[in-house]
Amino acid sequence: DQQVKQNSPSLSVQEGRISILNCDYTNSMFDYFLWYKKYPAEGPTFLISISSIKDKNEDGRFTVFLNKSAKHLSLHIVPSQPGDSAVYFCAASSKAAGNKLTFGGGTRVLVKP
Amino acid sequence: GAGVSQTPSNKVTEKGKYVELRCDPISGHTALYWYRQSLGQGPEFLIYFQGTGAADDSGLPNDRFFAVRPEGSVSTLKIQRTERGDSAVYLCASSKGTGGVTDTQYFGPGTRLTVL
């Protein structure tokens, strides 16, 4: 069973507008959440993270929101740029399970100029 | 500085053969991870090393898969009697090894394994 799910396989957005990516999880033991970005033929690169004790973390154009009661997190990218076109993975980890990351299936984002 | 490197970038083999995939972590990183990414899915955890020892190998799918890190730096993932279902991109990541969940993992470009 998938413990981390990204229900939207793809997203298309106009340059300058906001991109919103969603992620749901089922394991209540998860206490740290991350977003990774992946370009073709490259490994995932770390983008932003959030601890379960927070509900928001912002880094430049990227903001992650966490709703623990709903077991839901989202990534907002504003304004979106063509270079943001990539596959975005949501990931989660827990102190109890050590450092291993559990990933969602990814959302492919296309930013149109 | 140099990132995580993986060799080969592509490997094509025949069913039943043995393969070795290599990972060179970022210099000074004591923690090393292997993940497997099948087509259209996110990476799945295989094994985690802290130094030379496997701290968590719960993700290895069966005993055909084995990984070593004899000197606490380079790691080799070994797959015996390969099957077509082993075809995937094998990703390696390393981190400083501080032990906390905030210890960011940095990924290599992966090795694409194709089993014919």
Low-confidence ranges of chain B (pLDDT < 50): none
By C-alpha distance, the chain B residue nearest A32 is B101
Query: Taking CB atoms and an 8 Å cutoff, what residues of chain B touch A43?
Result: 4, 91, 93, 107-110
User: Could you tell me if B56 and A98 are in contact, meaning their C-beta atoms sit under 8 angstroms apart?
Assistant: yes
pLDDT of residue A96: 81
How do residues A53-63 score in pLDDT, each as one tens digit?
999 999 999 99
Order across the sheet with A4-5: list the strands. A4-5, A19-25, A72-77, A62-67, A56-59
- Measure in Å the smallest separation between the Cα of B20 and chain A Cα atoms: 19
How do residues A20-78 score in pLDDT, each as one tens digit?
999 999 999 999 999 999 999 899 999 999 999 999 999 999 999 999 999 999 999 99
Does the CB of B57 have a partner CB in chain A at under 8 Å?
no
User: Could you tell me if A34 and A46 are in contact, meaning their C-beta atoms sit under 8 angstroms apart?
Assistant: yes
pLDDT of residue B1: 57
Inform me whether the pLDDT recorded for A97 exceeds 90: no
Q: pLDDT-derived band of residue A87, with 50, 70 and 90 as boundaries?
A: very high
Mean pLDDT of chain B: 94
pLDDT of residue B98: 83
Beta partners for A51?
A32
Does the CB of B67 have a partner CB in chain A at under 8 Å?
no
Cis peptide before A82 (omega within 30 of 0): no
pLDDT of residue A42: 92
Cis peptide before B61 (omega within 30 of 0): no
Does the CB of A96 have a partner CB in chain B at under 8 Å?
no
